[in-house]
Amino acid sequence: MHILDHLKSGSPTFSFEFFPPKTPQSQELLYEAIRQLEPLNPAFVSVTYGAGGSTRELTHELVARLKTTTSLDPIPHLTCVGHTAEEIAAILKRYADVGVDNILALRGDPPRGQVDYDHAQDVFPQAKDLVAFIKSHSTNKERMPFGIGVAGFPEGHPATPNRLQEMDYLREKVDAGADYICTQLFFENRDFYDFRERCSLAGISAPIIAGIMPVASRSSLRRMAELAGGARFPARLLKALERAGDSEEAVRQAGLHYATEQCADLLDHSVAGIHFYTLNQSTATREICQRLGRM
């Protein structure tokens, strides 16, 4: 189903993100998580794409399996880095052939270890270039064009400290053909509401889906601090985790409570949708959905 059909239903969408597993053990863990999450009837699920296209085949295999063996509607990530136009066209055709209707278009990270990677050398230097190519590309005249999503950053894009310029770049992606925006994870809803309002002021009317990742452990908190250039942790969250002491279960419950309150507040403020970064696990997402009355 085209993403705009999901988003125009009148109710906020719920969706999940998975990443392609690399070992037989991680595959089984993911498919068990999918089995437990499928009954929640998410509007869609997204599947990540490794830096520099490193998980290209794994991503396609997972997307195809989700499309053909489950009721889930997969949206694969696709990045610019290191790809030719012919390669992107071939990837789009493979997705169209299995019935995929939507793509999340990202500039993407360079291959591991290439810290000085020059994005200007790519055929698609920025996400807007990839969006425009996908929008104009047709693999089957009988099919609707792909629905296209792009990333948004409520706390600010780590590579664009100029927040005014950041909005210009985001508007260019939407003007190139993006249908919706899915945000990076955040922990302070005021950042999301400010981002949403600044989008409106910049003339960006695409629906904005909020990305949520509950804190499940102290180690996951540290990992989140390193994601996408860092994440801001409000004092209210840190105090709740401090009160949990050394108990990992108490830390998990504090993280779940905070994320549930975040989601409830977003729903109260007419969010277009909530996208859970699951880390290929089902427990936290299922518990939050249950607390929100989604089960």
Distance CA 115, CA 93 (A): 31
Dihedral angle over CA of 181, 182, 187, 191, nearest 10: -10
Instruction: Indicate the pTM of the whole model.
Output: 0.94
The predicted pLDDT at position 203 comes to: 97
Predicted local distance difference test score (pLDDT) of residue 141: 53
pLDDT at residue 228, as a whole number? 54
pLDDT of residue 184: 94
Assign domain 3-290 one CATH number from 3.30.300.130, 3.40.50.720, 3.40.50.300, 3.20.20.220: 3.20.20.220
- Asked if 132 and 176 count as a contact pair (C-beta separation under 8 A), the reply is yes
Q: Who's near 271: CB < 8 A, 6+ residues apart?
A: 12, 192, 208, 209, 210
Locate the domains of the chain by residue range: 3-290
Q: How far is residue 1's CA from residue 100's CA, in Å, rounded to a whole number?
A: 8
Q: What is the mean pLDDT of each run of 10 residues along the chain (295 residues)?
A: 90 96 91 96 95 84 95 96 91 93 91 73 91 80 81 89 90 97 96 97 97 91 71 93 94 96 98 96 96 86
Is the Cβ–Cβ distance between 66 and 75 less than 8 Å? no
Which pLDDT belongs to residue 227? Answer: 65
**According to the model, what pLDDT value does residue 218 have?**
87
Alpha-carbon span 168 to 185, nearest angstrom: 21
Residue with tokens 């009355």: 293
Identify which of 3, 69, 83 has the alpha carbon closest to the alpha carbon of residue 30: 69
What was the pLDDT predicted at 295?
63
pLDDT score at 9:
80
> Residue 186 in 3-state DSSP?
coil
Which residue numbers are catalytic?
17
Place of tokens 């695409």: 206
Instruction: Output the CA torsion sign for 99, 105, 284, 266.
Output: negative
Distance CA 44, CA 184 (A): 17
Convert the pLDDT of each residue in 167-194 to its tens digit: 999 999 999 999 999 999 999 999 999 9
Q: Over the stretch 243-273, which tens digit does the pLDDT of each residue have? A: 999 999 999 999 999 999 999 999 999 999 9
Q: Give helix 189-201 / helix 248-268 axis angle, nearest 10°.
A: 30
Confidence at residue 53, expressed as pLDDT on a 0 to 100 scale: 73
| Residue 81 structure tokens | 């880095």
SS3 102: strand
- pLDDT for 109 equals 79
CB 43 within 8 A of CB 271: no
